Chains A and B, each alone.
Chain A
Amino acid sequence: MSNNNKKWFSLNLGRKDKESSGSCGCGKTSGGCGSHASETTEMTDEAFAEAAINASIGEERVKDGFEQVFDVKMDRRSAFKKLTASLLIGAGAVSTSCSMISGDESKEKAQIDWEEQFKGNYKLMTDEEKQATVDRLMRSYELRTGKNISMSSKNAEDDVLFGYAFNISKCQGYMDCVNACVEENNQDRDSQMQYIRIHEMKDGKGFNFNEADDNYYHEVPAEGHFYMGTQCFHCDNPPCVEVCPVQATWREADGLVVVDYDWCVGCRYCMAACPYDGRRFNWSKPEVPEAEVNHNQHYLGNRLRKKGVMEKCTFCVQRSRAGKNPACVEACPTGARIFGNLLDPKSTIRWVLENKKVFRLKEDLGTEPKFWYFMD
């Protein structure tokens, strides 16, 4: 099981693991499969360009940008000349951004950025405004990358309250859920951000989180151990929501606790308030290689985040509101994860709650998590 799935979601930014091995995608190690045929002509093109550039700018290429500009001997007169010129270029840049003649695309981009910077809180938007911001974000992505994404602003449905149950007896610690979550939710690959943690606990010690290991690198299931997953529990009385100074995080009508990434100011008060380690912060600009971006997005869910904002598990709002299971539930090979509508008496989750001895973590804190644990 899960032999090919790494536990970590390793980065593929410009690293050429396959090429370096000397073999080709067709599987042969020696030439002749045909897929390398074009390489020779490409190389000559490159070499030609190299020679041409060398001839034209010569040694300036060796110096980096800073040195090129500052490591030059000049007298006062030419220094002033250059300063004036750069001032004019700066003024020019400002005027083009506001001018009538500049390209429509860059103007549109500027318009979108402006409207996005000064839009309101998603929680308080009307449906039209929600649609407008989603349209803007899709268009902005298209303008920047030339690719299309679909982004939903679907609201919570009536008579739906999402809940989650975790079967401790079944979980074997494969961490397929962790991988699926990262792939689905476009988390930052650089910092290896993960919403789910799987705690490996020793048999006979009970639920001893202090001695548990959530960072293991060995074959599972390990002898004499059992596994327990944690993530955001989507509390009914979430402390993180109370403390947010700008209401950038809230509980939706279907019970999902969500974040408006564009409204968050990044104070991290919610992180301090969460008793379940359910929140993550983008300490630097999140990086997701374009090829790995999940293009099926929701405004409150897996759309691409920016630097300095909070994010968290949303029970895959882009999936759950479309009638699907969250990625972790779907990826789990053991069936330890159960998700469903708590208000539907025929749902599996209701059956579990009614027929199993369920419990929740840190119930004494009064947070009312909608995430239950049970055993067979």
Chain B
Amino acid sequence: MTATVTPMVSVEGLVKVRSQSESVFELHVPRFTVLPGQMVAVVGESGCGKSTLLDILALVMVPTRVALFRIDPGGGPAWDVAALWEREDEGALARLRRDSFGYVLQTGGLLPFLSVRGNICLPGRLKGAEISAGRLEALSRRLGIEGCLERMPLSLSIGQRQRVAILRALAHRPRLLLADEPTAAVDKTRARTIMEDMRHLAVDEGVAVVVVTHDLDLVMDRADLAYTFETEQIGGQTTRSVCRPLAEASP
């Protein structure tokens, strides 16, 4: 990590307050940075706010307060996401999402009414850059799903679906890949290979990755940087969770 590289994602002083009936949950992110090409792991138990953080990073959840929230996809001006939220410029947020982001959901999040190929090609079409047959061929072979392209997602195994989801998230050459527990639904062995494949692909494509998981072991030796959460109960109803880099976190 060198200071001269412009971070792709810089977040400072982010607070998200969510309240559900009586209970209040506060997520504090004092500082969160992703450098280009970096793999960042966000590790924590369920309910610590890691999905909330990912949704905020994915631009589908508005932060309650944020001091700095910049995204610099490279090859153009950086986006002041805080300002976009301020303006409620959902169009620009959606555009940033489809041009620069890839997203892998816990259970793949494939559209069941499109074939595997249709799913993979959709982000490219939205971006206005059709994914070439050669690239699709090469990537699918690399993920071992070259035989499933014409099948419907429902006919695939969970592992295959996750691989398709990874391919869909990467095929349109995004700058940032957001993965939400991408291997939670498969067994440990398969989880490792999937995570490995994702990591390699991201490195090869030069894509920064933020991966959220509860399984520290799965990412420990692969991530460049890891964040975790300190959760404490303040008062009867309020839970506060602070996200810090793993090294700083108290054991």
Whether chain B is bound by chain A comes out as no
